[in-house]
Amino acid sequence: MAEPPLIHVVDDDASVRDSLTLLLESAGFRVRAYESALSFLAAASPGEVGCVLTDVQMPELNGLELQQRIGAAGIQLPVIVMTGQGDVPIAVQALKAGATDFLEKPFDDEQLLSAVKGAVAVSQRAHDEAAAVADIGVRLATLTPREREVLDRLVAGQPNKTIAYDLGSSPRTVEVHRARVMEKMQARSLAELVRMTIVAEGATSGKASND
């Protein structure tokens, strides 16, 4: 069985960390608590499903700055910010910067758990999508150079005869390559093959732009 989602609690108040840890663990989550944003950044494990639950007002780095550091580090974890009185404008900034939710203190247990469950659902979808993209990449790597040429032309919408002409081959040979591509990519239709390739190319271009 997969481990429960991991919730990272970041707050400089030990009593808050303890109470949140108790509540979240009683709801079935795994919890790691940190006394500062820097201690979280030093220990973050980006590969797991979960979220970050952080206070806004903290020494060294506040919650908004932590959120910015998380994004810059490529850590794929949704962020929920907790605010005190007068901190709502900062929380709004956090939402605009991509936070999934903010909680204004004092909040009740159900409100907190609802926000955490929503953030975990976002994390799970992102995790599943990343796994699917990686799987497509593995399949693409099994194609021969000629099969990749055929795939690229199929995705461009070219019919077999045009592909055969461009590659100096026969339509029958192209049909054989096309069948092998469909088999290796585990695509049940041309439309599915095109969607898979677009997803993989989008992931590659997104990674290149981030770099």
Closest CA to 178 of 207, 138, 144, 129: 144
Q: Is residue 133 within 8 Å of residue 203, measured between CB atoms?
A: yes
- The Cα 129–Cα 116 span in angstroms is 20
Which helix (H) or strand (E) is 104 found in, with range? strand 101-104
Q: What is the mean pLDDT of the chain?
A: 88
Could you give the strand order of the β-sheet that contains 6-10, starting from the edge strand earlier in sequence?
A: 30-34, 6-10, 50-55, 79-83, 101-104
Between the alpha carbon of residue 99 and those of residues 10, 72, 80, 92, 104, the distances in Å are 15, 14, 6, 9, 14
- The Cα 157–Cα 148 span in angstroms is 14
pLDDT of 88: 72
**Any idea which residue has 């799970």 for tokens?**
124
* Domains observed in the chain: 6-127 (3.40.50.2300), 142-210 (1.10.10.10)
Least confident range from 22-31, 43-52, 159-168: namely: 43-52
- The 10s digit of each residue's pLDDT in 172-200 is 999 999 999 999 999 999 999 999 888 88
Please report which confidence band the pLDDT of residue 49 belongs to, taking 50, 70 and 90 as the band edges: very high
- The 10s digit of each residue's pLDDT in 129-177 is 888 888 999 999 999 999 999 999 999 999 999 999 999 999 999 999 9
